Amino acid sequence: MAVPFNYSLRNLWNRKFTTILTAGGMALVTFVFSAVMMLAAGLEKTLVDTGSPENVIILRGAAETEVSSSIERDQADIIKTQPEVEHNSVGDSLAAKETLVLVTLPKRATEIPTNVIVRGIGTHSMELRPQVKLVAGRSPRSGSYEVMAGKNIAGSIKNADLGNKLNLAMIGWNVVGIFDAGSSAFNSEVWADADEIMAAFRRNSFSAVILKVPGNKNFIKLKKRLETDPRLSVQVKREIAFYREQSEMMSKFIKLLGFAMTLFFSVGAILGAMVTMYAAVANRTREIGTLRAIGFGRQNIMLAFLSESIFLGFLGGLIGTLSSSALQFLTISTLNWETFSEIAFSFRLTPSITFNSMGFALIMGLLGGMSPAWRAASLKIVDALR
């Protein structure tokens, strides 16, 4: 017959101090594990949400980022007039020729310089990015030194708020608008008229051309035609796939670093659980002998002690995961390794992260309790009662 589960719970309750310490150690490890996974998920979501599923991005053939891409004006005109490109209600092609430059601007609080992306936008750039909403001021006018800033830039970069002037290419640009791009990376950019940006930074080519091409068949036809056109040397990607690729390297690094840290800390948590359970076995030797004498087998004793250890892991996992969920209210900034520019994003807790965190905590409890449980089950009845 099985040892009742409430027997194990009562034993944990009677050892409140050691129970709290052991569960607390597991909670700390689970918190670190969950936080790292949330960090990687938040970065990935920020970059993936930057793309729109119906948009296509055209880059130079060998370019890995928009910053390193270059498309000549005549090539951009060819791309813009492709038959698969959707038109708006007034008959204009939903296409935008954009250029990106990296500028160094001081942070608001510390004045430490950081790299910021300045995106030169076309007439239909806002129309192609429905997630971008103007929340203050207005859009920059064509042919003027005006910019609008993403809400993260407006809050973190000096002179990037509405009404101030940003110094770009030794020119003062009026900040005439603030936009909110939801959870996308556009919030970490400054937008201005593409022609003015190219003139100010002495650029003769665009970085990318954005097209709205709904439907997979249209996309395949467009991709095949443009990538085989001898006049062009371009690559054609869905915008959402392009930004997903941008997140892969940094996301993998964060996860690997997180796993290494978590494994290091988990050794201490497992050892703590083992010490706690060994102490429980030593203090309850006669009790174990009594249980064996009244008919409980070795397997039942082992399962009883394992259930205590696993419950400690469950308790620690629950506390650690719930604590890490509060990180979702934080927004942090870091360097995007692909573009070498600052990007702001939030922690993101997903069902899979919750499941993996709890599973990791239960495994710690299982590993910490196996040896003490085996020790308890191995005690001989006579020796235990003596």
Mean pLDDT calculated for residue range 299-326: 83
Q: Are 199 and 155 in contact (CB under 8 A)?
A: no
Closest alpha carbon to 246 in 68, 62, 64: 64
- In tens, the pLDDT along 301-314 reads 777 777 878 888 88
The helix (H) or strand (E) run that includes residue 85 is none
Dist CA 357 CA 259 (whole Å) = 12
As a whole number of Å, the CA-based R_g of the chain is 29
- In tens, the pLDDT along 110-146 reads 888 888 999 999 888 888 988 889 999 999 998 899 9
How many C-alpha atoms does 144 have within 13 Å on its Cβ side?
Answer: 10
* pLDDT given at position 58: 92
Dist CA 240 CA 247 (whole Å) = 11
Query: Phi then psi for 175, rounded to 5 degrees?
Result: -85, 105
Quote the pTM value: 0.76
What single string gives the DSSP state of each residue in 217-258?
A: HHHHHHHHHHHH-TT--EEEEEHHHHHHHHHHHHHHHHHHHH
Dist CA 116 CA 67 (whole Å) = 12
The three-class DSSP label of residue 174 is strand
Classify the C-alpha dihedral 261-264-268-273 as positive or negative: positive
* pLDDT given at position 375: 74
Indicate if the pLDDT at residue 16 is higher than 80. no
Cα 146 to its chain centre, rounded Å, is: 32
Dist CA 12 CA 273 (whole Å) = 12
In terms of phi and psi (left: phi > 0; alpha: psi -120 to 50; beta: otherwise), the region of 248 is alpha
Query: Phi then psi for 35, rounded to 5 degrees?
Result: -60, -40
- Residue of higher predicted confidence among 25 and 121: 121
- Determine what percent of the chain is predicted with pLDDT higher than 70: 86
- In tens, the pLDDT along 90-112 reads 888 899 999 999 999 998 878 88
Q: Are 335 and 341 in contact (CB under 8 A)?
A: yes
* pLDDT given at position 25: 82
Query: Phi then psi for 295, rounded to 5 degrees?
Result: 120, -5
Instruction: Give burial (CB, 10 Å; 0-12/13-18/19+) of 355.
Output: exposed
Mean pLDDT calculated for residue range 338-357: 81
Q: Are 271 and 25 in contact (CB under 8 A)?
A: no
Q: Mean pLDDT for the chain?
A: 83
- In tens, the pLDDT along 225-263 reads 999 988 888 999 998 888 888 777 777 777 777 777 777
Query: Phi then psi for 215, rounded to 5 degrees?
Result: 90, 135
Tokens of residue 128, six digits:
């192609």
